[in-house]
Amino acid sequence: MPSYLLAKLAESERYTQAAEAARQTLIAPAPAEHRAQLRLSIDENGSLVATVEAAPNRTISDAHGTETLPGTVVRTEDEPTVADVAVNQAFDGLGATFQMLLDAFQRNSIDGKGLSLDATVHYGSGYDNAFWNGERMVFGDGDGQVFQGFTGSTTVIGHELGHGVIQHTAGLEYEGQPGALNESLADVFGALTEQHLLGQTADQATWLIGAGIFTPAVHGKALRSMLHPGTAYDDPELGKDPQPADMSGYVQTTDDNGGVHLNSGIPNRAFALFAVELGGYAWETAGSVWYRALTGGLTASATFAQFAKATIAEADAVSPSTGDAARTAWASVGVIKATGDERAVG
């Protein structure tokens, strides 16, 4: 959750309950076991074939409105659904992210080695956020006026677990351009998780992050739009989505760790444009290009231009037309020159 959005909400006179929840959220501390499944099938000769495939190992706990982690275990792997909707949503969202990572990138969980996926729901009182704390997913229930339960968005779950993937790969610094890349890549994982779950092609997808977590009282669709940064919400109390769509709007600030949630809109749009141009399922070619750039030796201090160069190299390795599509996408957001010479302009 962007700190600038919570800060704006904290000043609200219209949403008094939400304002108090936002203030409490802002001051609250933000805080490996492996599993496999046996799959049986019949081969072309009629013989029984047994294969062992990676499978998620999920544990959902309940903080019961406190800020004490991990909370009480309420659902584990292979157990049926429970009466608590948030528990089931968290369980399903963790599974959807695990399956996308496995199917798209042959990655076994967020560490690539089958790490258990743990989550805590009902964290805090009116807590307006969800976060990855380095070990588990943590979900607040929202304040009820502006934000609803954060387990209701698959993109939010995929985003936060995406931070875990980044932590176990490039370990991008959470400041300035590396931090904005960190946020953007997490958004890519979130969007791909939802699209993979729904079987959507790039042109069918909404490219929204956090759709459904605003209450109907808010004038907005989601927290962010990857394809159209700056258009996700426009509300009298929350203001207008401040994300820039290209480098001409790049925000120089000391807030928000150097604008990590703001400037992430720039690489977000580059990925969405790239995926839409290629067509088909975004987790296939487009997602694989971005994933290989992330895991192929990217430094923790990588800038937009350095990441663009890495993705273009990976795209060129697929085909000349894929490389051209990557160049066009990065040029469209002003990170490289329109001539495609890969030089940064900002």
* Positions marked catalytic: 160, 261
122, HSE (Cβ side, Cα atoms, 13 Å): 16
H/E run at residue 103: helix 85-105
Residues 6+ apart with CB under 8 A from 139: 86, 90, 119, 120, 121, 122, 123, 130, 149, 150, 151
Tokens found for residue 78? 């292979």
Kindly provide the b/e burial profile for residues 307-346, where b requires at least 16 CB atoms within 10 angstroms of the residue's own CB: bbbbbbbbbeebeeebbebbbbbbbbbbbbeeeeebebee
Residue in the block written with tokens 């791909």: 192
| DSSP at 81 | P
Looking at residue 73, its amino acid is V
* CA 344 – CA 8 distance, rounded (Å): 33
User: What are the beta bridge partners of residue 336?
Assistant: 344
